[in-house]
Amino acid sequence: ALVLTAGALSACDATARAPVVDTAGQVEFTNPLAIPPLDRGTVASDGVREFALLADEGTTEFTPGVRTTTWGFNGSYLGPTLAATIGEPVRVRVDNELAVPTTVHWHGMHLPAEMDGGPHQVIDPSQTWSPSWTIDQEPTTLWYHPHVHGETEEHVEMGLAGMFLLEPPDPGRFGPPHSYGVDDIPVIVQDKQFTDAGQFTLSTRGFVGSLGDTVLVNGTAAPYLDVTTERVKLRVLNASSARTYRFAFDDGRSFDLVGTDGGLLEAPHRTGEVQLSPGERAEIVVQVEAGEQPVLRSSTPDLGMPDAVAELNGGADTLDVLQLRAASVLEPSQPLADRFADIPRLDESDAGQERQFEMDGLQINGQSMQMHTVNEVVEVDTVEVWAVRNRMQFAHSFHVHDVQFHVLTVDGEPPPPELAGWKDTIYTRPGVQYRLIMRFEDYTDPDTPYMYHCHFLTHEDAGMMGQFTVVEDASTAPSTIRTEGAD
Ligand code: C2O
Ligand code: CU
Ligand code: CU
């Protein structure tokens, strides 16, 4: 009964969920925030930067004395923060020591389809997978997570996720803080539901997916971060299965949004809040005064739907996330540049095709994910517009593999600042049309698809996903592909 099947859901089935959660002001921040180890790998004799990830089961004490069964990479929960510089060739050796097959997908990365780690690149137990590619995109915060067909939510919820930082050759140039673990902090946010015995449970899984009443940041419950500098950059990743967070500080202070999924904005955007649906990232720079203790909190997210429906989607919950504790004496920080860089905009007049993606039920364009079906064939070195609309009064999002896109219009209007930079995942408000523009480059493979899908993991697992190939010549490209094993 935990598995949701495509098309089988009505709004009446969707009411299973925990009561409204409100932890605001109630969390005592007793645990220092864990910082995942920064892993720059090693450069092999052929000049390739090599990383190693080993997925395994373990136990983690989120509460002292309570051992929770978890999965992790190179540890019991989550994984190291991988970092590479733009232009570098990389290779990752992934060993699967779990009892079940998994995959590792590089979310937001431009790379060949065979290296993407989607549902076709299965790593069986005790097997190794070693994808390699060259980092060729804007500096930003990406992440990695499993993408097993039908089981992504379980694998991510158990703890398989980590950050992948793409670094500029000259990190100091624009002024955002960049000392990892000092003033450049990963903030991997996940809400969890625990059983009385202290184990993870997906029992609160309703239509939107699994919502929990406990927030973990980097695997730490009730976390605080000691801040020693005047400014701190938070790389916020929503690695939750279903929850959309609307982040703001409890004292209402404003901060600078400096980057979104795929890179820096053109200029810092001064704001008091930033909303992230599952899979989205935001880089924010926060200024503190000595001794201050602001709390990063998620207030009721704006899901763009009636309150009663929003409540079923976690849209009534208020959660404390992370306390910043500024030291009594702070190191000075470099001021932020007023402007970072011009972002080359893709021009609509260059677009050869406009495709429509209608999300209805748990399907896209009336179809559910089939491993052997290629839903869309794209020709390499072309620009396309993808027009996406969520036809339901429920929360959905849209994520595209291989590319970063720009939002051209939101219901015909220019995008708001937080959607004006490079994105790979957007929340899709019910009824609203988002026109996305993207360029497909470099890699072709008529037999191996990339994915596009809703990033609410229950929905993705239920088949709210499609496949596209990038090819030289669409007129000769196959629309079905051979798949190994069962579909
Ligand atoms: Cu973050 Cu297709 O995934
Ligand atoms: Cu992805
Ligand atoms: Cu969805």
ipTM of the complex: 0.99
Regarding the beta carbon of 107 and ligand 1, being less than 6 Å apart is answered yes
Calculate how far, in angstroms, residue 40's C-alpha sits from the geometric centre of ligand 2. Answer: 22
Calculate how far, in angstroms, residue 143's C-alpha sits from the geometric centre of ligand 1. Answer: 9
Regarding the beta carbon of 115 and ligand 1, being less than 6 Å apart is answered no
Do 115 and 230 fall within a single domain? no
For residue 118, which atom of ligand 1 is closest to its CA? Answer: 2
What pairs with residue 386 in β-bridges?
Answer: 355, 436
Q: How far is CA 468 from CA 265, 403, 471, 477, in A?
A: 28, 12, 10, 11
Residue 320 inside a domain? The answer is yes
Question: CA-CA distance, 371 to 118, in Å (whole number)?
Answer: 11
Question: CA-CA distance, 208 to 105, in Å (whole number)?
Answer: 22
Calculate how far, in angstroms, residue 7's C-alpha sits from the geometric centre of ligand 3. Answer: 12
Do 381 and 427 fall within a single domain? yes
Question: CA-CA distance, 480 to 375, in Å (whole number)?
Answer: 9
Contact 251, 219 (CB under 8 A): no
What 3-state DSSP class applies to 114? helix
Do 79 and 191 fall within a single domain? no
Calculate how far, in angstroms, residue 376's C-alpha sits from the geometric centre of ligand 3. Answer: 19
Of 110, 141, 167, which marks where a domain is finished?
A: 167
Do 144 and 241 fall within a single domain? no
Contact 108, 262 (CB under 8 A): yes
Contact 68, 194 (CB under 8 A): yes
For residue 453, which atom of ligand 1 is closest to its CA? Answer: 2
Do 275 and 151 fall within a single domain? no
Do 195 and 327 fall within a single domain? yes
| Count of CA atoms in the C-beta half-sphere (13 A) of 427 | 27
Name the residue with the closest Cα to ligand 1, atom 1.
107
Do 94 and 158 fall within a single domain? yes
Residue 26 inside a domain? The answer is no
Calculate how far, in angstroms, residue 238's C-alpha sits from the geometric centre of ligand 1. Answer: 12
Regarding the beta carbon of 279 and ligand 1, being less than 6 Å apart is answered yes
Of 282, 297, 331, which marks where a domain is finished?
A: 331
Residue 15 inside a domain? The answer is no
Do 282 and 371 fall within a single domain? no
Do 193 and 326 fall within a single domain? yes
Residue 327 inside a domain? The answer is yes
Longest dimension (CA), the chain: 67
Tokens of 193: 């539901």
Regarding the beta carbon of 147 and ligand 1, being less than 6 Å apart is answered yes
Closest-lying ligand to the alpha carbon of 388?
Answer: 3
Provide the domain limits for residue 288: 184-331
Do 190 and 320 fall within a single domain? yes
Do 45 and 103 fall within a single domain? yes
As for how many domains the chain has, the answer is: 3
Regarding the beta carbon of 453 and ligand 1, being less than 6 Å apart is answered yes
Q: Could you give the strand order of the β-sheet that contains 376-379, starting from the edge strand earlier in sequence?
A: 376-379, 465-471, 450-453, 396-400, 425-428
- Specify the pTM: 0.96
- pLDDT for the residue 487: 43
Of 193, 200, 142, 207, nearest to 6 (Cα)?
207
Q: Which residues contact 353 (CB under 8 A, 6 or more apart)?
A: 378, 382, 384, 385
- DSSP 8-class letter at 154: H
Tokens of 306: 């009636």
Q: Which residues contact 170 (CB under 8 A, 6 or more apart)?
A: none
Residue 365 inside a domain? The answer is yes
Tell me, what CATH number does 274's domain have? 2.60.40.420
CB neighbourhood size of 196 (10 A) = 6
Regarding the beta carbon of 119 and ligand 1, being less than 6 Å apart is answered no
- pLDDT for the residue 16: 56
Tokens of 62: 């989120």
- Positions in the chain short of pLDDT 70: 1-18, 484-487
Question: CA-CA distance, 109 to 48, in Å (whole number)?
Answer: 17
Of 331, 361, 382, which marks where a domain is finished?
A: 331
Place of tokens 């999965």: 71
Do 313 and 241 fall within a single domain? yes
Contact 350, 452 (CB under 8 A): no
Calculate how far, in angstroms, residue 116's C-alpha sits from the geometric centre of ligand 2. Answer: 8
- pLDDT for the residue 484: 63
- DSSP 8-class letter at 212: -
Question: CA-CA distance, 363 to 414, in Å (whole number)?
Answer: 27
Name the residue with the closest Cα to ligand 1, atom 3.
107
